[in-house]
Structure 1
Amino acid sequence: MLFHVKMDVHLPPDMDPDVRADTLAREKAYSQQLQRDGKWPHIWRITGQYSNVSIFDVASNDELHQLVSNLPLFPYMDIAVTPLATHPSDVKAG
């Protein structure tokens, strides 16, 4: 199942710099492992924002929830999820 996921990050301005650095390092490692595993095949930065648009390829809604809720930045995110389906005009889908 494919999902379009928009993530907006809102780190507290007074967050301890060491906690921030550790959280960002863990986020990068975890997200890159999901990419290597094929669960997170696409990620794009939204220009001018601390946000991204991503495509997840997972087996179920529950798997997506588990992966996203385990992101170290999850407590600081607003997340919007849209399930995707194949478009009938997609020449590659046939």
Structure 2
Amino acid sequence: MKVMKKSKQESKSRILNFTKQRRSEKSVPSSEVTRDLFSDIWRDHLDNVKAITGKIQNKKLIKTSQKRADIRIDEAKGPIRLSIFKQDE
């Protein structure tokens, strides 16, 4: 198995950049961010990116959703989508 090391800060920055690019009206699948970070071994790193996403969510910088409903990352089962908080939220 190939291993690619990415710092937590690099992962956090990438998550925030992806969500900012999409703005609050659109969301991005967490798998898209993970693929961008880890290319062909992205599936091995989904849990790591999910954990970092949870920390960012706790700081109220992003929100996570499933089936268009906001959800806490620790309650998510299956694919999630990420979006930046609107300034008025």
TM bracket, shorter-chain basis: 0.3 to 0.5
TM-score under structure 1 normalisation? 0.34
- The structure with more radius of gyration: 1
Which structure's residues are more often strand, by fraction? 1
**More RCO (CA 8 Å, sep 6+):** 1
TM-score under structure 2 normalisation? 0.35
Which structure's residues are more often helix, by fraction? 2
